[in-house]
Amino acid sequence: MECRHFADQTCGSCPLLGFPYGAQLARKDAAVRAALGDLASAEVWFPPVASPQSDFRNKAKMVVSGTAANPVLGLPFGVSLTDCPLYLPPIRAAFPAILDFIRLADLQPYDLTPALTKTSQKTAAHRGELKNVIVTCSPSNDLMIQFVLRSRATEARIRSKLPNLQEQLPNLRVVSLNIHPEHKAVVQGGVEIVLSDETALPFHISDELTLYVGPQSFFQTNTYIASRLYAQATSWLSEVRPSTIWDLYCGIGGFAMAVARPGRQITGVEISGDAISNANKARDALVKNIPNLDLTFRSEDATLFANTHSISSPNTGLPDAVIVNPPRRGLGTDLVQWLNKSGIPTILYSSCNPTTLAKDISELPNYQIVKAQLFDMFPNTTHSEVLTLLTRR
């Protein structure tokens, strides 16, 4: 894959782009094996799952710079990435209409560049309203656009001009305003105002499974690899045939619904109420295709949920298997210790951080890795997604 931004060093997001893809994949596979070390013997490793090298990212988080009359989408300080070859083609095709909309609605970019000798950085950071534009594309090429704003000052103007954007982008399904008043590195704030009739974007993962991705939802940025990840999880669990499963950190319910079967009881747990709302929406659609599913989602903290189930008394409703897919920081000591003492036969652990994965598994001495595999969710980078299956010793 060729990229002018890599060639001229204006973007450093793909540090491995200069290596042939086969060499990238081998390097990553060796790195994740080294991270897990003696925790995973050579015999347990499956071959890595390769990704397309371009046209795979389903989400673009673009910093808005420049001016309302001449906006720029990409990196801070005027670096445009609208031609980035990683994004799915419908995302790249939407950028001209989005730029036109910024001009039409007169949305002044959030200014991080103080005028020389005239404006302090602190003062400059409080000029302008539009911080980021986040564009998400579904497998059916429908779009969701979030405008991340410093305040609601331009909300009425955006609402009045929105039909123009919807006319230019007939595949635009969800539009929202995210209000992020603080000057922080995190991209989104806590207040979401949905302007469209639809509140979540359908992601058709398979003939039977459709997930719903809302403005505040987490979903893997590589839909192709995510579907392969779900398929492998389903295959591995089918070999141990659990009748009850907990999916902790379930998000919008991807793993839970991928492994759902009649006669199998599944409980998904996620602290985000918005994610659980979308998981329930997907569950209701799935039940229409596969009757008699026993699938429940709960908006709770995963560790607190686990601790409500005693591991010292019989018949406390512990499952046959647990799926965990935590944030990069890992599971945390409390949940790891609970799992280690639980006696649950099987743990399926999906991780985007091999370092915290290795730390957590090293603190599960009652379990052993029996299967492990790298999924190249983030080609051209050093980041990895690793799926492991652990059984009780």
Catalytic residues: 352
How far is the C-alpha of 300 from the C-alpha of 340, rounded, in Å? 21
C-alpha distances (whole Å) from 229 to each of 17, 93, 348, 352 are: 23, 28, 12, 12
Distance CA 232, CA 90 (A): 28
Q: Which two tokens stand for residue 150?
A: 């410093």
Residue type, 201: L
DSSP class of 124: H
User: Phi, psi at residue 337, to the nearest 5°?
Assistant: -65, -40
DSSP one-letter code for 370: E
In sequence order, what are the residues at sequence separation of 6 or more whose Cβ sits closer than 8 angstroms to the Cβ of residue 33? 40, 42, 45
Question: Shortest CA distance to 39 belongs to which of 363, 344, 332?
Answer: 363
Cβ proximity of 211 and 252 under 8 Å: yes
DSSP secondary structure letter of residue 145: E
Q: What Cα–Cα distance (Å) separates residue 42 from each residue in 250, 288, 371? A: 29, 43, 10
User: Which residues on adjacent β-strands are paired with residue 144?
Assistant: 136, 174
Nearest to 62 by CA among 110, 17, 106: 110
Residue 41: other Cβ atoms inside 10 A? 13
The DSSP secondary structure of 222-273, one letter per residue, reads: BHHHHHHHHHHHHHHHHHH--SEEEEET-TTTHHHHHS--TT-EEEEE-S-H
* Residue 180 CB partners (closer than 8 Å, separation 6+): 131, 148, 149, 150, 186, 187, 188, 189
